[in-house]
C-alpha cells in the first residue's frame, strides 16, 4: 500500500507583510514548501498534492521545480484546513493508500517522525502528530490514553484540567485516503470562524468506532512560520542543526556560529571551514578541503585537497579538481579548474577551462562577455599566465605556453609559445617633474581665487 502527501500551501501569510506567498519565503536558500516536500520525500510517496491559493502560479512553479510529478490544486476560498484537504480529493481519485497531511509553512518535521506516523497507521485508523510544548499557550490539546487519542480540545473550549495538558496538536494527520475523505464530508463549518477544520476528523472517527492514535515529536519539529520573526527563528534553527551535523560528520568548523549552510550543502570529513564562510544552494565539498575565511560558495563542486579563499567567491558551474588553489579575492564562474592549478590572487575566471598544473597570475581576467554572448577561454596544462593578463574570449592557450604580464591576448597561443601583447614603453626625461610643478601652481592659484 502506497503513501500520498497532501501539503497545505494556500495561505497568504498576512503577518509576513509580503506579496510573496508565505510558503515561498526561504530558509537556508530554499522555500519553506521545499523543506516540507523534502521531509515527505523520505517516504517515497506515490502521489504529492500541493494545495495552493494565494500566489498559486508561483507556488506551482516552485513545487514542480522540486518534483515535476507533484500535482497542484487550487483552494480559491480559504475556508479552513478541512476544506483545503477536500480540494485534493479529485487529484487522488482512485488512490487507495495512506494520506499524510503536511503544512508548507512547517519545514522541520524529520523524515524519521513521518516514518513513525506511517508505522502508527498500521495500528490506528487515524493518527495525529503531537508535541510536548514548553508553553502550550493557545494550542489545541491532545487528550490521550497511552498512544490512543481520545479527543482534540481547542484551547477556547478547554477547562482548566485540559489546559494543564502540555501535549499539543501539530495539525499533521495520517489516515487511509477513503477514510479521510469520507470523514471530511461529515465536517461542518458550525463554528465561530465558519470554517471546516481538519482537527474535527479524529473526533468524527472515534464517533464511528474507528481507532485514533498519536505520535509524539519534539516541539522544534513543529515550528510553523507565520511572521518574519518566525522566519528568523526557523533560519537559526536550521543553521544550528546543520552545524551540529557537520561537526558530527568529521568537519572542522573553526567558528561554527559564523558559518552559514544551505539546505543541500554537502561537506566531506576532514574538511576545515574557517570563520564567516557562506554556502549557497548546490555546493558539494569533498574530503580534506580547506575553505578559508570570508568565502562565498554556490552551485559548485570542490574536490579533495582543494583550498578556497580567503575572500573567494565560487559561483554556479565552478568545478575544482583535486589540490586546486583559489586564493584571495578571486571569483570563479562556470569554469573547470583541473588538478593542481592555481588562481591565487585578485582574478576573475568565467566560462573557462584551465588545465592541470597551470598558474594564473594576479589580476588575470577572462573577458568572457561581449555585451550579448558569453565566450569560452581554454587554457592548457602547465601554462603560466602572467599577472594582469586580459584573455579576450574566445581564445585558447596551448600546453606549456606563457603570457607576459600586462598582455591583452586576443589570439590563440600555440603550445610552448610566449605571447606578449602590450604597448611599447617610452620614458620622457623630466616630464613628470614639470607636470607636477605645473599642476601644483594651478592648484595654488585656484585657492587664492577662492
Q: What is the pLDDT of residue 288?
A: 98
% of the chain residues with pLDDT over 70? 100
Same domain, yes or no: 218 and 232: no
CATH number of the domain where residue 245 is located: 2.160.10.10
**In the numeric block, which cell numbers belong to residue 122?**
498500521
Q: Which of 161, 296, 345, 375 is catalytic?
A: 345
* 436 located within any domain: no
CB atoms within 10 A of CB 233: 15
Tens digits of per-residue pLDDT, 405-421?
999 999 999 999 999 99
Same domain, yes or no: 207 and 282: no
CB contact at 8 A, 7 and 36: yes
* 446 located within any domain: no
Pick the closest to residue 22 from 41, 38, 36, 5 (CA basis). 36
φ/ψ bin of 194: left (φ > 0), alpha (ψ from -120 to 50), beta (otherwise): left
Per the prediction, the chain carries an average pLDDT of: 95
Tens digits of per-residue pLDDT, 154-185?
888 889 999 999 999 999 999 999 999 999 99
Q: What is the pLDDT of residue 450?
A: 67
* 48 located within any domain: yes
Residues of the chain with pLDDT under 70: 450
CATH number of the domain where residue 132 is located: 3.90.550.10
What range does the domain containing 194 cover?
3-222
Query: Is 345 considered catalytic here?
Result: yes
What's the total number of domains in the chain? 2
Amino acid at each position: 500500500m502506497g503513501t500520498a502527501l497532501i501539503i497545505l500551501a494556500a495561505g497568504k501569510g498576512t503577518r509576513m507583510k509580503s506579496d510573496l506567498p508565505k510558503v515561498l519565503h526561504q530558509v537556508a536558500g530554499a522555500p519553506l514548501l521545499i523543506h516540507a516536500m523534502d521531509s515527505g520525500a523520505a517516504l517515497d510517496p506515490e502521489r504529492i498534492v500541493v494545495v495552493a491559493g494565494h500566489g498559486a502560479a508561483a507556488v506551482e512553479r516552485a513545487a514542480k521545480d522540486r518534483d515535476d510529478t507533484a500535482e497542484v490544486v487550487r483552494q480559491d476560498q480559504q475556508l479552513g484546513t478541512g476544506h483545503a484537504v477536500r480540494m485534493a480529493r479529485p487529484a487522488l481519485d482512485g488512490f487507495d493508500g495512506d494520506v499524510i497531511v503536511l503544512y508548507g509553512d512547517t519545514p522541520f518535521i524529520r523524515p524519521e517522525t513521518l516514518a513513525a506516523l506511517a508505522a502508527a497507521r498500521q495500528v490506528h485508523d487515524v493518527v495525529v502528530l503531537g508535541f510536548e510544548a514548553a508553553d502550550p499557550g493557545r494550542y489545541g490539546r491532545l487528550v490521550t490514553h497511552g498512544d490512543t487519542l481520545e479527543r482534540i480540545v481547542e484551547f477556547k473550549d478547554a477547562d482548566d484540567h485540559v489546559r494543564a495538558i502540555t501535549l499539543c496538536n501539530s495539525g499533521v494527520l495520517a489516515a487511509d485516503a477513503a477514510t479521510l475523505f469520507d470523514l471530511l464530508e461529515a465536517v461542518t463549518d458550525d463554528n465561530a470562524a465558519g470554517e471546516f477544520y481538519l482537527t474535527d476528523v479524529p473526533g468524527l472517527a472515534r464517533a464511528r468506532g474507528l481507532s485514533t492514535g498519536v505520535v509524539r515529536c519534539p516541539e522544534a519539529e513543529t515550528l510553523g512560520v507565520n511572521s518574519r520573526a518566525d522566519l528568523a527563528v526557523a533560519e537559526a534553527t536550521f543553521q544550528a542543526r546543520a552545524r551540529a551535523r557537520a561537526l558530527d560528520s568529521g568537519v572542522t568548523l573553526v567558528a561554527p556560529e559564523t558559518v552559514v549552510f544551505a539546505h543541500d550543502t554537502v561537506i566531506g570529513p576532514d574538511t576545515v571551514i574557517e570563520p564567516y564562510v557562506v554556502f549557497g544552494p548546490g555546493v558539494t565539498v569533498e574530503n580534506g578541503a580547506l575553505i578559508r575565511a570570508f568565502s562565498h560558495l554556490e552551485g559548485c563542486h570542490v574536490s579533495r585537497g582543494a583550498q578556497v579563499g580567503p575572500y573567494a567567491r565560487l559561483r554556479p558551474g565552478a568545478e575544482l579538481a583535486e589540490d586546486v588553489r583559489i586564493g584571495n579575492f578571486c571569483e570563479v564562474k562556470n569554469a573547470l579548474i583541473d588538478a593542481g592549478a592555481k588562481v591565487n590572487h585578485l582574478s576573475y575566471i568565467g566560462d573557462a577551462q584551465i588545465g592541470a598544473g597551470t598558474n594564473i597570475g594576479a589580476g588575470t581576467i577572462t573577458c568572457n562577455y561581449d555585451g550579448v554572448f558569453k565566450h569560452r577561454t581554454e587554457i592548457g596544462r602547465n601554462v603560466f599566465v602572467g599577472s594582469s593578463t586580459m584573455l579576450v574570449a574566445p581564445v585558447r592557450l596551448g600546453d606549456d605556453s606563457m603570457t607576459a604580464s600586462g598582455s591583452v591576448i586576443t589570439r590563440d597561443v600555440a603550445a610552448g609559445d610566449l605571447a606578449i601583447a602590450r604597448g611599447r614603453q617610452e620614458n620622457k626625461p623630466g616630464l613628470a617633474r614639470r607636470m607636477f610643478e605645473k599642476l601644483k601652481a594651478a592648484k595654488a592659484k585656484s585657492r587664492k581665487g577662492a
